[in-house]
Amino acid sequence: MANPVTTSPLADLDLVGAEVLGPDGLNKGAICLRDGWIAAPDRAGRRVDLSGYRILPGIVDIHGDGFERHLAPRRGVMTSLAPGLGSTDAELAANGITTAVLAQFWSWEGGMRGPDFARRVLEALAQEPMLTDCRVQLRFETHLLEDYAAFEEAVAAYGVDYVVFNDHLPHDALAKGRRPPRLTGQALKSGRSPETHLAMLQALHAGRDAVPGAVGALAARLAARGVRLGSHDDPDAGTRRDWRARGAAISEFPETRAAALAARQGGDAVILGAPNVVRGGSHSGKVAARDLIGEGLCDALASDYHYPAPRLAVLRLVADGVVSLEDGWALISSRPAALLGLADRGVLAEGRRADLVVMDPVTGRIGATICAGRISHMAGAVAARFLG
């Protein structure tokens, strides 16, 4: 599922003088844009001198939920999602993201993570034109046994092609008969009383023995339709192997090295959170993404909850000598594009979509973002070059 686009791409445009990150590394050269695609210099176009800047492939963000704060800044405040999607579009573009997978919950948490809100997001994305290529991933809470049919219907109705399975129930506390942490806050966000919320959690936990069979059957049906499947927060190697057996070949944010290694050994893809790299480690005490990247146990970096993070993470990894610019940028461009089956982007080469960013190599700031030949962001000195 991708959102509609109504604007036309730029006319013939030649970007010259910059360092271009192509398939063979950084080189001085020209990028010729023709009708939304990168083309050979077969005819003269309007020239824009970008000397002193770098042109890199547009960022493909394979998982991000930072849009939540735009769509629902306060519970129950926004009646229309269109303005929030416009704000999301602008933030994505300002951070060099040209393809964004919006990770929307279908969860017992309710509120903006509940099924009703998920349907609203799907409907809004199907109608609201955006410059960024925004797609959707539905994150399904596996213990919602009574929601399986409705969830599957929504996946089919809206053409969702990426589903990730979550289990965020506080099983340890529930098994011991304790009140889970943050219960009152969760209840308020969901619109339930703490007592009602706790009773729901207990009921979901009580049905846990039926989940493996049910989720396995659901995964098989979705896979038969061509839906891409993944799991979220794999805690150990055994859990990763279980998800692989169900056809979920993507491991999002594995919590341990053992889980990431099991994914790699089984041929599964590993997606890590870029904020983990920027912070210098996990905020919740899980494995450090930098360490896994250094071991080659990472296929793509995702924004997770912070859209500036993919770019900042790569720049930090390059500065620290963990990866080269070519290999680091591939983690946020060509490699996530390949995981999503998007062969038309992620690399600056003839015949690919004109998805690119113009970056100041000193500050790392994005001066311009072009998505399918359309300007989605432009500011400062780079804008002056284009206007001149």
pTM for this prediction: 0.95
Domain locations along the chain: 1-58+346-388, 59-345
What share of the chain has pLDDT > 70, as a percent? 97
Q: Can you tell me the distance from the alpha carbon of 355 to that of 333, in angstroms, rounded to the nearest whole number?
A: 10
Q: How confident is the model at residue 204 (pLDDT cuts 50, 70, 90)?
A: very high
Mean pLDDT of 288-296: 95
pLDDT of residue 286: 82
Domain 1-58+346-388 part of CATH 3.30.200.20: no
Higher-pLDDT residue of 110 and 223 is 223
**131-159 per-position pLDDT tens digit:** 999 999 999 999 999 999 999 999 999 99
Q: How confident is the model at residue 283 (pLDDT cuts 50, 70, 90)?
A: low
Checking 77-81 for CB contacts under 8 A at 24+ apart, the result is 81/120, 81/121, 81/124, 81/128
pLDDT of residue 308: 97
pLDDT of residue 1: 67
Q: Can you tell me the distance from the alpha carbon of 111 to that of 124, in angstroms, rounded to the nearest whole number?
A: 17
pLDDT of residue 189: 83
Q: How confident is the model at residue 238 (pLDDT cuts 50, 70, 90)?
A: very high
Superfamily covering domain 59-345: Metal-dependent hydrolases (3.20.20.140)
pLDDT of residue 6: 63
- Pairing status of strand 366-371 against strand 356-359: antiparallel
Mean pLDDT of 249-266: 97
Residues 6+ apart with CB under 8 A from 47: 14, 16
Instruction: Answer whether residue 76 shows pLDDT above 70.
Output: no
With tokens 């904020």, the residue in question is 275
Q: Three-state DSSP class for 139?
A: strand
Q: How confident is the model at residue 9 (pLDDT cuts 50, 70, 90)?
A: confident
